[in-house]
Amino acid sequence: MCVNSCCAFVGVLENETKCKFCKEDRYYSNGKARKNLPFTSIIERLKLQFKNPERSKELLYRHNYTCNKGEFAHNNIGDIFDRQIYQELLNDEYFPDPRDIAFTASCDGYQIFRQKTDDCWVFLFLNNNLPQELRVKKENLMVTLIIPGPKQPQDFNSFLYPLIQEMKFLQDGISCYDGNKEEQFTLRANILAWTGDIPALLKVLCLTGHNSYSGCRFCNLRGTLNETNRHVYYPL
């Protein structure tokens, strides 16, 4: 990635030797990259988890929850799987295998340096196939990608590239070993929902931000410029 965190050298930028935003060199003179993107594979971690018989059983929570929901519980929201969107995905033949994983992805900006803007972006995956009491435990949160900053990324999407590649593999299905059933199977995983703070979601959705004229992610309401302090507002 660029030494100033402008972009990751992936996809169409794969062969670049200079950052197209800040013109900094990608490599040292000895050919080594000046900065690497911190990324941890989701696929490898899922494979490791399914290999373990105990964990493999725990990962059946989604299946067990949706199968054992009583008649009375039908209109109650007890978990993410009670939302209509999950039912719609089931109708579209997503999650055919009890082991298929439903993720919640989150992206948040963190201020870890003494600056006023968000400077470090963390992508975290929550595995909804785990029971609720285990799901948000520190050891079960899957940090997959960190955009380290301290400068604002210029091409935010380029950093997502390795993550999107893995999710594409997981959508089609990968070969995985189930330590509980002692069999090889095709594992699929999909993202059920994205969460995050507003500045982060704006970046994921390629929006311009809450100080711009078209800052809303739901409608086309246009902001007005306050001449005195040169800020765009949404007076309501």
Q: Would you tell me which residues interact with Zn ion (CB under 5 A)?
A: 2, 4, 6, 19, 21-22, 216, 218-219, 221
Minimum separation from the CB atom of position 116 to Zn ion (A): 21
Minimum separation from the CB atom of position 202 to Zn ion (A): 13
Q: Which is nearer to Zn ion, 22 or 191 (CB)?
A: 22
> To 5 degrees, how large is the angle CA 102–CA 104–CA 110?
155
Residues with Cβ within 8 Å of 223's Cβ and at least 6 positions away in sequence, in order, are: 212, 213, 214, 215, 232, 233, 234
Q: Which is nearer to Zn ion, 60 or 207 (CB)?
A: 207
Number of H helices, E strands in the chain: 7, 8
Q: Which is nearer to Zn ion, 6 or 124 (CB)?
A: 6
Minimum separation from the CB atom of position 27 to Zn ion (A): 13
Q: Which is nearer to Zn ion, 54 or 213 (CB)?
A: 213
Phi and psi (nearest 5°) for 132? Answer: -55, -35
Question: Between the CA atoms of 12, 15, 20 and 21, what dihedral angle is there, to the nearest 10 degrees?
Answer: 80
Q: Determine the 3-state secondary structure of 122 from DSSP.
A: strand
Q: Which is nearer to Zn ion, 32 or 137 (CB)?
A: 32
Minimum separation from the CB atom of position 6 to Zn ion (A): 3
Asked if the bond preceding 150 is cis, omega within 30° of 0, the reply is yes
- Give the amino acid at 170: L
Minimum separation from the CB atom of position 5 to Zn ion (A): 7
Phi and psi (nearest 5°) for 6? Answer: -75, -45
* Polymer length of the chain: 236
